[in-house]
């Protein structure tokens, strides 16, 4: 049934305007407005049917108030239809002016542009660095043998070799011979230390082998005693089972013995 009340038709026109404003806003944001097209089209058809019904009512019973409002409704229908067909490209004041002043805040909100997200400023990436502090420990001062065993360093001191510019060939040869002898001595010490470590490791291996043999013997003893225990428990179970089976016979024998003793004593 078509609406013939002019106030209802103006209210319907306002709702169509709001829908068109939302549609235009979606188009400006590069969004798909197709979800509202069906509803807007049906609302325009309802408004058109209402205007036609109002026109027919005016033909039957002339009314000055209806004659004043009908041209406004027709004008708004034409503007709204044009706006809907133009996909938001044509902009008219009819679309932004509500018929009911109480809807002005809704129209203002529908026309307000959507706030854009502020572009992120490139953040300065702070380099993260991890600093390690090594505390040098004078191990050589604590263990002189270690210093004698390891005379070379990955980071030797800044003290370089002695100046040999004022030495002749024999002195240089003697110096290098001494260095080689010292290195041989240090290598001999290192070899002796490695030999002692080898002997110690062999002794540890022999001790471990002895412990393994001892554990094997203990394991065999445990298995042997476990077997004996199982056999003894089996014999006890058999005796207990036989005793339960022959309990009545045992009681009879005991009573007979007691009776014989009483007869012998009382004679």
Per-residue pLDDT of 21-48, as tens digits, reads: 877 777 777 766 566 677 888 888 888 8
pTM (two decimals): 0.40
**Degrees to nearest 5, angle at CA 74 with 73 and 79:** 100
Q: Give dist(CA 242, CA 249) in Å, integer.
A: 11
Write out pLDDT tens, residues 128-186: 444 444 444 454 455 555 555 555 555 545 445 566 666 677 777 788 888 888 988 99
* Alpha carbon distance, N-terminus to C-terminus of the chain: 136
Examine the pLDDT at 196 and tell me if it is beyond 70. yes
Q: Which residues contact 263 (CB under 8 A, 6 or more apart)?
A: none
Give the residue-averaged pLDDT of 213-227. Answer: 92
Torsion of CA 50, 53, 59, 62, to 10 degrees: -50
Check if the beta carbon of residue 77 is closer than 8 Å to that of residue 95: no
- Alpha carbon separation from 182 to 149, 159, 171 (Å, rounded): 12, 18, 16
> How high is the pLDDT of residue 81?
84
3-state secondary structure of 130: coil
């Amino acid at each position: 049934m078509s609406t013939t009340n002019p106030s209802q038709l103006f209210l319907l026109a306002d709702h169509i305007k709001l829908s068109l404003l939302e549609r235009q806003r979606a188009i400006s944001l590069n969004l798909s407005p197709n979800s509202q097209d069906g509803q807007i089209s049906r609302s325009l058809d309802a408004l058109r049917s209402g205007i036609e019904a109002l026109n027919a009512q005016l033909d039957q019973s002339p009314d000055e108030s209806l004659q004043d409002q009908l041209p406004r409704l027709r004008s708004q229908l034409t503007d709204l239809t044009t706006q809907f067909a133009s996909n938001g490209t044509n902009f008219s004041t009819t679309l932004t002016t509500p018929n009911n002043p109480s809807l002005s805040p809704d129209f203002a909100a529908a026309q307000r542009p959507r706030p854009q997200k502020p572009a992120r400023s490139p953040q300065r990436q702070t380099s993260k660095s991890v600093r390690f502090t090594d505390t040098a420990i004078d191990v050589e001062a604590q263990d002189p043998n270690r210093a004698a065993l390891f005379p070379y360093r990955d980071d030797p001191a800044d003290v370089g070799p002695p100046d040999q510019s004022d030495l002749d060939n024999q002195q240089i040869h003697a110096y290098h011979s001494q260095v080689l002898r010292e290195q041989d001595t240090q290598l001999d010490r290192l070899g002796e230390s490695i030999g002692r470590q080898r002997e110690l490791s062999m002794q540890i291996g022999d001790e471990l082998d002895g412990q393994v043999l001892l554990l094997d013997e203990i394991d065999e003893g445990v298995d042997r005693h476990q077997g004996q225990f199982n056999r003894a428990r089996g014999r006890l179970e058999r005796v207990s089972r036989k005793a339960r089976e022959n309990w009545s016979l045992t009681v009879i024998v005991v009573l007979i013995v007691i009776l014989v003793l009483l007869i012998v004593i009382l004679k």
